[in-house]
Amino acid sequence: MKIKISALLLIVFCVSGCYYDKYNKLYPPVSETTCDSLNVTYSVSVKDIMNNYCIGCHNASTASGGATLDSYSSILPWVQSGQLMGDVKQLSGFISMPPGSKLSDCDIAKLQKWVNDGAPNN
């Protein structure tokens, strides 16, 4: 009789212990949006970032702040001077770009990778 009660109590404790397990904590969801900052090219990664965040103000027609960022050759001087990364990282002494917001950490990592790789026209 004592063995049956002990076994029953053991089962109750085991089952009740699982009651407090949270599925999301045990099996966290896999992020569907991962950042590929290893395979960065100008033609795909950098140009896309520029088109989405920069070209609206920094194109041949408007050239806000004297900066034109609508082609590889126009971006290169800003890269070589360090101005591009200082601005998008919003570092002290630089102009925060884009104004009123900030690029995602992923986009900044892509730009930094491209710059570190020598800013190739690929």
Q: Name the residue ranges covered by the structural domains of the chain.
A: 42-116
Question: Rounded CA gap, 83 and 70, in Å?
Answer: 16
Q: Which among 43, 36, 35 has a CA at the least distance from the CA of 119?
A: 43
Question: Rounded CA gap, 44 and 49, in Å?
Answer: 9
At 20-78, the pLDDT tens digits run: 555 556 666 655 568 888 899 999 999 999 999 999 899 888 888 888 899 999 999 99
CA distances from 117 to 10, 60, 82, 99 (A): 61, 27, 14, 27
The sign of the dihedral angle between the CA atoms of 100, 76, 86, 116 is positive
HSE-CB for 97 with a 13 A CA cutoff: 25
Q: Give pTM, 2 decimals.
A: 0.71
